[in-house]
Amino acid sequence: MSYNLVTDDVLQQLQAIVGTDGVSTAVSELNLHAADMSSHPPHLGEVVVWPTTAAQVAGVLRLANEQRIPVTPWGVGSSLEGNPIPLYGGIVLSTGRMQAIVAVHVDDFQVTVQPGIGYKDLNKKLAVYGLFFPPDPGANATIGGMLANNAAGIRTVKYGASKDNVLRMEVALADGRLIHVGSRSIKQSSGYDLLHLFVGSEGTLGVITQATLKLTPIPALMSAVAASFADVETAVAAVVAIKGTGLDLAALDFIDASTAAMLAQENGVDLPAQPTLLMEFHATHAETIQLGLDMVREICDEMGATRVYATADPTERQRIWHARHQTYETKLRLNPGISWMPMDVAVPISAYPALVAYAEQEMQAQDVSGFLIGHAGDGNMHFTLAYQDEDAHRRVKAVNAAVICKAVDLGGTATGEHGVGIGKAPLMPYEHGAALDVMRQIKQTLDPNGILNPGKIFA
């Protein structure tokens, strides 16, 4: 694909669509929208636009399509695979001024929002209704960015990923058409499932301009459990055993010994420096919580846990999960000068121990270090690998590629939640084979000029 540059004439037309204060070519703004939270190199767009309505988004796309100018949608840039980096320049379309809650459908447990609202801000506003949107990727990601990446989080094991918590969306297509996909009905069986075609498409097929989300009542009771183990193998084997009981866990995360030590030191969380499983239970009755706790304690003891710590105290529980959510930022802060590559692969739960063992073996072979955290209950593993120079970067990338192929061989996937972006694109043929050609055909149908987030998903 070849693209045209953003000319003065195009800038004027953009201003006519979104208003003069909704367009900027200031270097400071271009820099702020050039990189996400990954280690992929930044790339500058030529202009940033901030539409406020779906009609304005559609107008920007129509113009860009006519002029053959790339458009990269932008939430808050918290991606970890280069997903919102404007690789081919052009227009960065920020949803930062589309943060309205359009309607709260309290009796249906639903909310309709514009795409730029952060999920944490949304949940704060929904608390008065006793409802929340469960997917929780950690950073205050936007709803548009979460749906576009099909983000998940620590509670996906109970409540599902973003794709499981959306019912209907309005999407602006590359040619400027606005369409609605899905419906507000919980059951939907009408035609092709376009809703879930756009979920996870990383802004390459259309721009989400509105979404109706499924909400869940805030649980009356919550408790947290931290089970420590002497080694990684035992802890990971315990994950499979705990899942095997059918216990209704709201979270089942793994952190390695170095991370447990860091959370204890930096956040005052009461954890020994050992591989640890962090769990959470939600219920309406105290007895249900207690039954879950008793059962999990019994299994962890049987599996050789060195310590099982349970708390129903809300402050302590929040401290544990807050610390867990801050792991990546804390590692960055404590290790200046070191770059990190977060891996994100997922496998069927029974293959989790084999995947972790393989990743450790590859790291050893390539002389690479890092830390392991993961949404173990979903079979989702995040080894985060450290590097300081080009040679180490090359070895880290080799480990990442080998582990991705292993995950696929084990019946899993190259990415459980971060999406393909730039980093995973070269491995898509290995995972998808001929199905990747079908994806290309869909892209060609919806975006024949290739203006939407070029350079992502397809290498």
User: 297 burial class (0-12, 13-18, 19+ CB within 10 angstroms)?
Assistant: middle
Among 14, 37, 239, 255, binds ligand FAD (CB under 6 A): 37
Nearer to ligand FAD, 351 or 373 (CB): 373
Q: Binding string, 121-150, against ligand FAD, x = CB under 6 A?
A: ----------------xxx-xx-xxx-xx-
45 lies in the site for ligand FAD, by CB under 6 A: no
Residue whose Cβ sits closest to ligand FAD: 145
73 lies in the site for ligand FAD, by CB under 6 A: yes
Using CB under 6 A, count the residues that bind ligand FAD: 37
DSSP 388-442: -SHHHHHHHHHHHHHHHHHHHHTT-BS-SSS--TTTTGGGHHHHHTTHHHHHHHH
Nearer to ligand FAD, 161 or 293 (CB): 161
Instruction: Tell me which amino acid residue 432 is.
Output: H
For residues 225 and 246, the answer to whether their CB atoms sit within 8 Å is no
Q: Minimal distance in Å, beta carbon 364 to ligand FAD?
A: 26
First vs last Cα of the chain: how many Å apart? 13
Bridge partners of 339, per DSSP, are: 387
Among 51, 70, 84, 200, binds ligand FAD (CB under 6 A): 84
Q: Which residues of 141-156 are buried (b: 16+ CB within 10 A; e: fewer)?
A: bbbbbbbbbbbbbbbb
Among 328, 340, 352, 358, binds ligand FAD (CB under 6 A): 328
Q: Which residue has the tokens 């730039």?
A: 422
Stretch that binds ligand FAD, among 40-48, 74-82, 214-222, 294-302 (CB under 6 A): 74-82
383 lies in the site for ligand FAD, by CB under 6 A: no
**Given CA atoms 356, 360, 362, 366 in this order, what sign does their dihedral have?**
positive
78 lies in the site for ligand FAD, by CB under 6 A: yes
83 lies in the site for ligand FAD, by CB under 6 A: yes
Residues in the chain, total = 459
182 lies in the site for ligand FAD, by CB under 6 A: no
Q: Minimal distance in Å, beta carbon 173 to ligand FAD?
A: 11
Residue 414 has phi, psi (to 5 degrees) of -70, -25
Nearer to ligand FAD, 177 or 285 (CB): 177
Nearer to ligand FAD, 275 or 419 (CB): 419
Collapsed DSSP state (helix, strand, coil) of residue 317 = helix
Alpha helices per DSSP H over 230-342:
232-244, 257-267, 286-302, 314-325, 327-334
72 lies in the site for ligand FAD, by CB under 6 A: yes
Which residues within the stretch 389-428 sit at the binding site for ligand FAD (CB under 6 A)?
A: 417-418
Instruction: Tell me which amino acid residue 142 is.
Output: T
64 lies in the site for ligand FAD, by CB under 6 A: no
199 lies in the site for ligand FAD, by CB under 6 A: no
Nearer to ligand FAD, 148 or 242 (CB): 148
DSSP state, residue 20: G
Q: Minimal distance in Å, beta carbon 171 to ligand FAD?
A: 8
Within 10 Å of residue 135's Cβ, how many Cβ atoms? 26
Q: Note the residues at the interface with ligand FAD (CB under 6 A).
A: 36-37, 72-80, 83-84, 95, 115, 137-139, 141-142, 144-146, 148-149, 151-153, 202-203, 207-208, 328-329, 417-418, 453
